[in-house]
Homo-oligomer: A and B are copies of this chain.
Amino acid sequence: MPRKPRKGDVAADEAVYGAIRRAMHMGRLTPGTKLQEPALARVLGVSRERVRKALHRLVHEGWLTAIPNRGTFVPSLTVEEMREIYDVRSMLEAAIVRRLSEGHTTAAAKRLKAHVAEEKAATRRDDRGRLFELSGEFHVLLAELCGNEELTRLLRGLLTRSTMHFSLAAPRQLTNCAGPHDHGDIAEAILGGRADRAAKLMLGHLAGLVTMQAARPPQHEPIDLPQAFRGIKARRPERD
């Protein structure tokens, strides 16, 4: 047998972290909800310290907001914050597509084409869940193709915040991006070496997303914690 999962396992931390993140992703937790540690520990079936650790991590990553001696809360997102995040993404991603347009390896071109093809396939199958994942990974992929791990990490964090806005504001709407249509055009411009066009398309793409989100008013349906985490519990870590 591999190991005794009896006591402390590093996977347990990830499980709690992932459970909370998944609940937010599903829109179960509305902004302003207080995540009290004892209740979460009971619901998830783990010790309070483990919940505390996960909560601290989530606070540090910007998913939650902590007030000293008060507790941790699901943040109330303003349209201003969303605009700022997309503004930074515009700066970075415009530079990224410019750089890729000006030069990239054949392996990079191959990966890019493969990704666009997969997005189109998911669209044809009408696989909303898979398309949601792929849409987000497209932007991370572009960062990866630059060969800069720091850039990839940074953009991944920004994308996480972006999807948080989607999750909290419009969880039903499972669309991470306006659609694979834009992505295909951007990829085409990159492969064709048209830097200005690629940058322009990316800026328009991001602008379209921000307007799409700004139009949706957040829904307020406060529910209790046990109901929010129904069926989620602690599964496998599941990468970001």
Taking Cβ atoms with an 8 Å cutoff, the residues of A that contact B are 10, 56-57, 60, 68, 81, 84-85, 87-88, 91-92, 94-96, 148-151, 154
Choose among B57, B81, B92, B151 the residue that contacts A60 (Cβ–Cβ < 8 A).
Answer: B57
Q: Which residue of chain B has the shortest Cβ distance to A57 in the bound complex?
A: B60
Please state if A96 and B91 are interface contacts (CB–CB under 8 Å): yes
Residues of B within 8 A of A151 (CB): 84, 87-88, 91
Q: Which of A84, A92, A151 has the most C-beta atoms of chain B within 10 angstroms of its own C-beta? A: A84
Chain A, interface SS category: helix
Distance in Å from the Cβ of A45 to the closest Cβ of chain B?
A: 23
Q: A91-B92, A92-B92, A95-B91 in contact; A84/B10 too (CB < 8 A)?
A: no
Residues of B within 8 A of A57 (CB): 60
Can you list 25 residue pairs at the A/B interface with Cβ under 8 Å? A10-B68, A56-B56, A57-B60, A60-B60, A84-B148, A84-B149, A84-B150, A84-B151, A85-B150, A87-B150, A87-B151, A88-B92, A88-B148, A88-B150, A88-B151, A88-B154, A91-B91, A91-B92, A91-B95, A91-B151, A92-B92, A92-B95, A94-B95, A95-B95, A154-B154
Distance in Å from the Cβ of A148 to the closest Cβ of chain B?
A: 5
* Beyond A84-B150, A88-B150, A94-B95, 6 extra complex contacts between A and B, CB < 8 Å: A57-B60, A84-B149, A87-B150, A88-B92, A91-B92, A91-B151
